[in-house]
Amino acid sequence: MATANMLMINPLAEAVPEQATEMPVEIALVKAVLEGDREGFGRLYDLYAPLVHGVLLARVPRMEVDDLVQDIFLHAFKKLHTLRDGSAFGPWIAMIARNRAVDYYRRSRETVEITDEMRGTDKQESKAAEILELIRGLPEAYRETLVLRLVEGMTGPEIAERTGLTAASVRVNLHRGMKLLREKLTLTEGV
């Protein structure tokens, strides 16, 4: 028992980010934006662009990601009034990003192949693109979490806070995703 890493999902232990002590900054920012403060939205953009970038990178071709990030935030700005709870901005915009990724594939059904321009001439970049493709081949729940951790550099607790997932779910996703990725890397190294 002492050596086991138990992930007991306790309903009372794993909860939303603490609101008892401090109001999340997102609530204040969303309120400000709705009252006309456009700069407040810039702040939200700075805070959540890496999250949106990671969510998209796990799903759509790399060259499309930057434009889509901008589109998503413009869309979020127009629809911000539909967000009932400012503290849910992160999960909300992550969902918009996932839906946009779905739309991307609905509109363009051509198969995405790794081309030389995607690989880049740099060896490191080429390797990065290959590993990203391996991650994209993993189940959806794992690939997003792994991209946020390994590409965007977020920690597990940060991923949980930004996406609204419980820490336990994120931890499981990271652990299992990493395990599968290691297996894939072992296979490709053998080729």
Partner 1 sequence: MNDDYLWNKSGEPDPQIQQLEEILGTLRYQPKPLKLPEELSTSRSRRNHFPWLAIAATVVMALLAGGLWLQTRNYDASIPAVAIAQPADPIIGPPLSASTDAPKRIKPRVTNYDRREALAAKQQLMFALRLASEKLNSAYRRTQDKRSSHENTLPN
Partner 2 sequence: MKTLFQTKLAAPLLALLLIAASAAATRAQDSRLQLSSLDHLAAKASQSVDVNIDERLMRLASRVFSDQDVEEREIKKLVAGIKGIYVRSFEFENEGQYTAADMETIRTQLRGPGWTRLVNVMSKKEGNLEVYLLMNGETVGGLAVLSTDVRELTVVNIVGPVDLEKLAKLEGQFGIPELDIEPAKPKTKNEQ
Binding mask 121-140 toward partner 2 (x if CB under 8 A, else -) reads -------------------x
Of 25, 50, 114, 133, which one interacts with partner 1 (CB under 8 A)?
50
Euclidean distance between CA atoms 121 and 124, whole angstroms: 9
Selection from 136, 133, 54, 151 nearest residue 98 by Cα: 54
Question: And the tokens for 78?
Answer: 């127009």
Yes or no: say if 45 and 73 are a contact pair by the CB < 8 Å rule: yes
Which of residues 26, 59, 60, 87 is near partner 1 by CB under 8 A? 87
User: What part of residues 140-169 is at the interface with partner 1 (CB under 8 A)?
Assistant: 141, 149-153, 155-157, 164-166, 169
For the window 31-60, what string marks contact with partner 2 as x by the rule CB under 8 A? ----------------------------x-
User: CB-wise, 81 or 108, nearer to partner 1?
Assistant: 81
Helix (H) or strand (E) holding 43, with range, is helix 38-57
Binding span for partner 1 by CB under 8 A among 11-19, 92-100, 102-110: 11-19
Please give the angle made by the CA atoms of 164, 166 and 172, to the nearest 5 degrees: 125
User: Is 104 near partner 1 (CB under 8 A)?
Assistant: no
Stretch that binds partner 1, among 54-62, 92-100, 101-109 (CB under 8 A): 54-62
> Which tokens belong to 174?
């990271």
Report which of 32, 145, 11 is spatially closest to residue 89, judged by C-alpha positions: 32
175 binds partner 2 (CB under 8 A): yes
* Number of Cβ within a 10 Å radius of residue 117: 8
CA distance 57 to 51: 10
List of residues contacting partner 2 (CB under 8 A): 1, 4-9, 11, 59, 82, 84, 95, 98, 101-102, 105, 140-141, 144, 168, 172, 175-176, 179
